[in-house]
Amino acid sequence: MATYSVTEFVNDLRLITQSQKDDSAIIEKVIPLAKRLASQTDWSSDSFRSCDESQGFGITILNEDEDNALMVETICWLPGRGVAPHDHQTWGVVVGIDGEETNVNWKRHDDGKREGFADLTVEEEIIVGPAEACAFLPNDIHSVRNTGETPSLSLHVYGYSPGSRKRSEFDPLNKTYKPCPQRIRSRA
pLDDT-based confidence at residue 27 (cuts at 50, 70, 90): very high
116: left (phi over 0), alpha (psi -120 to 50) or beta: left
Residues 6+ apart with CB under 8 A from 63: 6, 10, 70, 71, 72, 73
Domains located in the chain, CATH noted:
6-187 (2.60.120.10)
pLDDT tens for 64-103 read 999 999 999 999 999 999 999 999 999 999 999 999 999 9
Q: What pLDDT is recorded for position 188?
A: 83
How many whole angstroms separate alpha carbon 90 and alpha carbon 54? 26
| Nearest one of 128, 83, 121, 88 to 105, comparing CA atoms | 121
DSSP state of 174: T
pLDDT-based confidence at residue 42 (cuts at 50, 70, 90): confident
Full-model pTM:
0.94
pLDDT-based confidence at residue 184 (cuts at 50, 70, 90): confident
